Amino acid sequence: MAKIVVDVMLKPEILDPQGVAVSAALPRLGFTFAKSVRQGKRFEIEVDGEPTSAQLAEVAKAAETLLANPVIETFTVRVEK
Amino acid sequence: MKVGVVTFPGTLDDRDAARAVTHAGTTAISLWHNDADLKGVDAVILPGGFSYGDYLRCGAISRFAPVMEKIIDAANSGMPLLGICNGFQVLCEAHLLPGALTRNHELHFLCRDQKLEITNNQTAWTSSYSVGQKIVIPLKNGEGSFQCDDATLAALEGEGRIIARYVGENPNGSRNQIAGITNARGNVVGLMPHPEHAIDTLTGPTADGLGFFTSVLKALVK
Amino acid sequence: MALDTVAIAQTNPDAVQPFAELGLKPDEYARIREILGRRPTSSELAMYSVMWSEHCSYKSSKVHLKQFGDKAVKTDALLVGIGENAGVVDVGQGYAVTFKIESHNHPSFIEPYQGAATGVGGIVRDILTMGARPIAVMDPLRFGPADAADTRRVLPGIIAGVGGYGNCLGLPNIGGEVVFDESYIGNPLVNALCVGVMKHSDIKLAKAAGAGNLVVLYGAKTGGDGIGGVSVLASETFDATGPAKRPAVQVGDPFVEKVLIECSLEIFAEDLVVGIQDLGGAGLSCATSELASGGSGGMKVELDRVPLRDATLSPEEILMSESQERMCAIVEPKHIERFLEICKKWDVNVTVIGEVTDGERLEITWHGDLIVDVPPRTVAHDGPVYNRPLAKPEYVDRVNAEKVIVPRPSTADEIKSTVLKLAATPNLADKSWVTSQYDRYVQGNTIQSQPDDSGMVRIDEKTHLGVAIATDANANWSYLNPYEGAKLALAEAARNIATAGAKPLAVTNCLNFGSPEDPGVMWQFAESVRGLADGCLEMGLPVTGGNVSFYNQTGAVAILPTPVIGVLGVIDDVRTRTPMSFDRAGLELYLLGETADDVAGSEWAYMHGQRGGRAPVADLRREMRLIELLVEGRTSRIFTAAHDLSQGGLSASLTEMVLRHNVGADVTIANVEIVLISESPGRVIVAIDPAKLEQLLVLAKKQDIAITKLGTTGGDNLVINGAIIPLNELRSAHTETFPKLFG
């Protein structure tokens, strides 16, 4: 069943201390691939049937009002099979 | 003279805020998040705590509470409104104040007796202090880092809307050591540290916090 | 898996059941069959397995813990004694205070944050269930060596979990301990204490009385958390290869618990419940069987009515689930509507799942089929009682005979270097890195918290009545002499209450030991309990309840015997309490009590790899006289400050006093090579205004307590026999340790 996924990330200019902590921890565990790491949130929204573009528009509104704080965060909305 | 203190599910410092109001010489009225009724109060405090468990983001859900509609209207008409800690977070989420509070830069919850400098005593909540006055009140939170974009910062600084700054080491990474701000009108104030926990030296580090509560008394009497 | 019902169990008595995997021994399984007159259903087997586990049934400790009741001093102050969720004491002015300490050791090793968080959650619910508003928490914690990799794995998570849960509940953390020792490396100890207050009339008990009354489950929905946690995690040791058993660890949500607290207190205030029990270890199995046992004995539960987070859970799993933040109340039908209304106001899930019956059986059905039909007492109270073999281990006499060889400071350089080393060692270093992660201010009634000798909370804002609590253990002494070690820990906790001028009133305990299947460990346990029971009788302090944590052992290596003793005291006016330290020059410092060469088991000895020698012998009469002196001195306003001596001896206590308000001291110590580092019990440093000396001497004489002048306060240094230790240097040594270790 398809779901609508909203990914929320802090705006690039906002300090992300959790991302910093993660990128510091990776090399301690032997993982050296990361130049930087930022941490975000993922919302998975189940709807009945296939998501319509009207629904996606509504989800975007919900994202702007509730799921994300536009002052410090950006978001993307997409459908995932 | 009545000051409303709001309780959301998960609010913790409501009784302490009410105690501070009473200590300052006026009456505290309890306001329930789900009742769109301000009960005729003259000012409102949004206290500290973990409303809705800080789910989603601190204050993100509380800002939509029925009581908030009435509070926003009243604040836009000039009613004094103070947001302490989680209350400050609610005010920012509700866009009554600019910016946002994010995770402390060192990631730990931090409880400490924090030195502040009062930088604006023209607001409804800070008139009992003098500009430049240093006070010590408890700071206790995990998400107290004040962030905003450059334009907002310039406006806050330019218009003198920062009401308090952290003195010494920045405890949480707040831009420009900002501990509290006000709106243009000076009736809505957000403050991260907890003045209600510094009303006497028996239970707090100082009695420096009482000034926030006596200030609003003066504002209401005027 | 097909549903296993009572009917089916009666028809196939020889079905093979996995009792061993569930932690039951063959004789225990046989006994269950005997009780029921048939084989148990799988649900019944699940219930018995969790309820008869060590953690829930206390099967190895019961015979010893009996002493707390047998040797109990008769006192009117004890309103609710051992046997209920927590003990309750009368503190005057119509107030009753309930307090208890519990362990959550094994889960915290596996998942530090959640293990610690749910440990706090559990003890808070125990207090709530007595009808009290929880008002404070404390956390005695023990870890492996401070610089060990696994300590760095568990410590930050545990601290974050204690803080994360307690802060979100709005409970001030008013004290605790952080102790490091090799023996805890595979078995960190997370003990959590909670204290609550109520009026006498508010006391609630866990009994289901009154046929027709409703059994109501409210709080969080039930999921697969911690299934088998108690039986598997807490009742078996880890193997050396690591935590092999890894069932779902309980995950807590403090917001749900905060709401549960407020909702419950409103329900209590309107007197809507007849009995109440929280769902902790063994979840529903425990709540239903204990409530039923506490009442007339009969209860009917429809298990399918339990609201689930996970619809795939089997009845057995539902019965064993340890999902957090759930309570079970017994409500008269006439009150249920109001009960439901209050839950709705707070948005708390609530479901009627059964009713109290006239019979003597606990009957549980699943969609109409009877899956449990047991006498509840056999589940909750009549579990197996073991009289495990005990044998004094060979190490005791050998280690007691060892000579303790440590450097003895006598020159100025040696004195300075000793003081700085003790100030910086992890066990004695400043713990702000830890305690600043805890809210100490919420509720606005905290009078004392870390680093004071005891936590103190005001309980009446008009009269300023307050309570003080301290927790203490000395595992080094318990290792050398478990009988004396327990007495000495009791004395220390009581003394910590008294330095502030509060009067000790009651005792709780958390007994952390290795495997009870090891006769040497069992001997340590038996001796500790005997010591504590004897000590409580002598000091006139009732044991109100407590907790036993066995199986703290990795392979054959047990932890040091660690009985943690909590003492609660009362103070009529918190404004008159004696603070821990002085904030001005010109005061005189005196040492109350006698110092012998008690270096065995000391921090100084530990730092030099010396673990042997003889523990001190407790002199509880003298301790009681010292306590009276301290309490009387407070009421007569003789003391400007008073601070207990314990680990680190005089060196540590002086360090803590001068750094507290940044006021130095100039002291002269006779026999400094002993007195600086000895940890003789029964000693306190007091600071007085010189004008009070006469009164102090009179008091000391009256109580027959030795008194020695140390020196005076003032300046920017701690000066000992001419050795100058600048406060700045001392502060650096004391405060840099934890940030360096843990970032």
More confident residue, C653 or C20: C653
Q: How far apart are CA C441 and CA B111, in angstroms?
A: 9
User: Once rounded to an integer, what is the mean pLDDT over residues C6-33?
Assistant: 91
Task: Domain B2-221: state its class.
Answer: alpha beta
**Cβ-based neighbour number of residue A24 at 10 Å:** 12
Query: Are the C-beta atoms of B19 and B196 separated by less than 8 Å?
Result: yes
User: Once rounded to an integer, what is the mean pLDDT over residues C499-507?
Assistant: 97
Provide the pLDDT confidence category of residue A81 given band limits of 50, 70 and 90.
Answer: confident
The answer to whether residue B105 neighbours chain C at the CB level (below 8 Å) is no
Going by DSSP bridges, is the β-strand pair B27-32/B2-7 parallel, antiparallel, or unpaired? parallel
pLDDT tens sequence across B141-160: 999 999 999 999 999 999 99
**Active site annotation includes B194:** yes
| Whether residue C241 has pLDDT greater than 50 | no
Res C76: pLDDT: 83
pLDDT tens sequence across C592-638: 999 999 999 999 999 999 999 999 999 999 999 999 999 999 999 99
Overall domain count for chain C: 1
Q: In this complex, which of B102, B104, B107 lies closest to A14 when CB atoms are compared?
A: B102
Provide the pLDDT confidence category of residue C382 given band limits of 50, 70 and 90.
Answer: confident
Q: Is C177 helix (H, G, I), strand (E, B) or coil?
A: strand
| Span A3-80 CATH architecture | 2-Layer Sandwich (3.30)
- What is the average pLDDT value for chain B, to the nearest integer? 97
Cα-Cα-Cα-Cα dihedral of C249, C255, C257, C258, to 10°?
A: 150
Res C242: pLDDT: 37
Which of C296, C407, C412, C306 has its CA nearest to residue C353? C306
Provide the pLDDT confidence category of residue C229 given band limits of 50, 70 and 90.
Answer: low
Contacts of B100 in chain A (CB under 8 A): 69, 71-72
The answer to whether residue B205 neighbours chain C at the CB level (below 8 Å) is no
Contacts of B56 in chain A (CB under 8 A): 66-67
Res C1: pLDDT: 52
User: Once rounded to an integer, what is the mean pLDDT over residues C214-231?
Assistant: 82
Res C246: pLDDT: 37
Assigned token pair, C44: 């019944």
Q: In this complex, which of B64, B93, B104 lies closest to A69 when CB atoms are compared?
A: B93
Active-site option among B33, B58, B194, B197: B194
H-assigned helices in C326-461: 336-345, 376-380, 395-400, 412-424, 432-435
Res C374: pLDDT: 96
| Whether residue B87 has pLDDT greater than 50 | yes
Q: In this complex, which of A18, A66, A71 lies closest to B99 when CB atoms are compared?
A: A71
Report the alpha-carbon angle C85-C234-C426, nearest 5: 95
User: Once rounded to an integer, what is the mean pLDDT over residues B39-47?
Assistant: 98
| Whether residue B64 has pLDDT greater than 90 | yes
| Whether residue C437 has pLDDT greater than 90 | yes
Which of C441, C436, C741, C500 has its CA nearest to residue C639? C500
Query: Are the C-beta atoms of B196 and B105 separated by less than 8 Å?
Result: no
Closest-CA distance, C157 to chain B, in angstroms, reads: 11
Assigned token pair, C659: 């750094």
The answer as to whether C261 is a domain residue is yes
Instruction: State the CATH number of the domain containing residue C369.
Output: 3.90.650.10
Measured between CA atoms, the residue of chain B closest to residue C448 is B203
**Backbone torsions φ then ψ of B129, nearest 5 degrees:** -105, 165
Q: How far apart are CA C395 and CA C393, in angstroms?
A: 5
First to last CA, chain C: 50
| Whether residue C39 has pLDDT greater than 90 | yes
Provide the pLDDT confidence category of residue C74 given band limits of 50, 70 and 90.
Answer: confident
Whether the upstream peptide bond of residue C451 has omega within 30° of 0, thus cis, is yes
Q: Active-site positions of C? A: 55, 104
**A72 contacts B147? CB cut-off 8 A:** yes
**B60 contacts A17? CB cut-off 8 A:** no
The answer as to whether C328 is a domain residue is yes
The answer as to whether C273 is a domain residue is yes
- What is the average pLDDT value for chain A, to the nearest integer? 92
Which of B81, B153, B124, B154 has its CA nearest to residue B221? B124
Q: How far apart are CA B25 and CA C488, in angstroms?
A: 49
Contacts of B49 in chain C (CB under 8 A): 170
The answer as to whether C218 is a domain residue is yes
User: Once rounded to an integer, what is the mean pLDDT over residues B124-133?
Assistant: 98
Percent of chain C's residues with pLDDT above 90: 84
pLDDT tens sequence across B16-36: 999 999 999 999 999 999 999
pLDDT tens sequence across C567-580: 999 999 999 999 99
Provide the pLDDT confidence category of residue C248 given band limits of 50, 70 and 90.
Answer: low
Query: Are the C-beta atoms of B192 and B179 separated by less than 8 Å?
Result: yes
Contacts of B50 in chain C (CB under 8 A): 167-168, 254-255, 258
Res C81: pLDDT: 83
Task: Give the range of the structural domain holding residue C45, as residue numbers without chain letter.
Answer: 1-7+20-51+204-385
Res C205: pLDDT: 84
Res C228: pLDDT: 60
| Whether residue B38 has pLDDT greater than 70 | yes
Closest-CA distance, B147 to chain A, in angstroms, reads: 7
Q: Is B162 helix (H, G, I), strand (E, B) or coil?
A: strand
User: Once rounded to an integer, what is the mean pLDDT over residues C184-210?
Assistant: 92
ipTM for the complex?
0.96
CB neighbour class for C382 (10 Å; exposed up to 12, middle 13-18, buried from 19): middle
Measured between CA atoms, the residue of chain C closest to residue B23 is C461
Res C244: pLDDT: 35
The answer to whether residue B56 neighbours chain A at the CB level (below 8 Å) is yes
pLDDT tens sequence across C311-333: 888 898 899 888 999 999 999 99
